[in-house]
């Protein structure tokens, strides 16, 4: 299945981030997830569908119920992007430190 959305679109919504945090503790059914939110079961189902399309969540059929669980490997896409950004910022701060040290030396 080709995903229409990427992981960053999925985590852009606060409700979806809350669902991810909830499922980080363990697999739950849609009804169990919906009980944690002040929104309709239909709205929660839409969030679950988006998270599943982005492969952040996996569905597992257990008898007549579907359980959703976090696909932690997919979260590594976010971690990898953030690490690149962190490295870029770190270089900028190092450059700023160098400039500040030069300014301090020139003042003496």
Q: Tell whether 96 is covered by a domain.
A: yes
How far is 24 from 7, CA to CA, in rounded Å?
Answer: 16
Q: What is the pLDDT of residue 86?
A: 87
Q: What is the pLDDT of residue 34?
A: 94
Q: Tell whether 102 is covered by a domain.
A: yes
Interval 10-67: pLDDT, tens: 899 999 999 999 999 999 999 999 999 998 889 999 999 999 999 999 999 999 999 9
Place of tokens 């992007």: 81
Q: Mean pLDDT across the stretch 81-104? A: 85
Q: Tell whether 2 is covered by a domain.
A: no
The conformation of residue 108, written as its DSSP 8-state character, comes to -
Q: Tell whether 1 is covered by a domain.
A: no
Range of the domain at 21: 7-107
The number of folded domains in the chain is 1
Q: Tell whether 82 is covered by a domain.
A: yes
Query: How far lies 14's CA from each of 19, 22, 56, 67, 97, in Å?
Result: 9, 12, 15, 21, 36
Q: What is the pLDDT of residue 21?
A: 95
Q: Tell whether 87 is covered by a domain.
A: yes
CATH of the domain at 27: 1.10.10.10
Q: Tell whether 74 is covered by a domain.
A: yes
């Amino acid at each position: 299945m080709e995903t229409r959305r990427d992981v960053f679109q999925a985590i852009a919504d606060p409700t979806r981030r809350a669902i991810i945090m909830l499922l980080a503790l363990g697999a739950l059914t849609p009804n169990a997830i919906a009980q944690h939110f002040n929104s309709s079961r239909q709205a929660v189902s839409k969030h679950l569908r988006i998270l599943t399309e982005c492969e952040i969540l996996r569905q597992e059929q257990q008898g007549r119920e579907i359980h959703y669980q976090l696909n932690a490997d997919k979260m590594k896409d976010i971690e990898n992007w953030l690490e690149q950004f962190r490295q870029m910022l770190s270089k900028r701060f190092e450059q700023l430190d160098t400039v500040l040290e030069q300014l301090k030396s020139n003042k003496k």
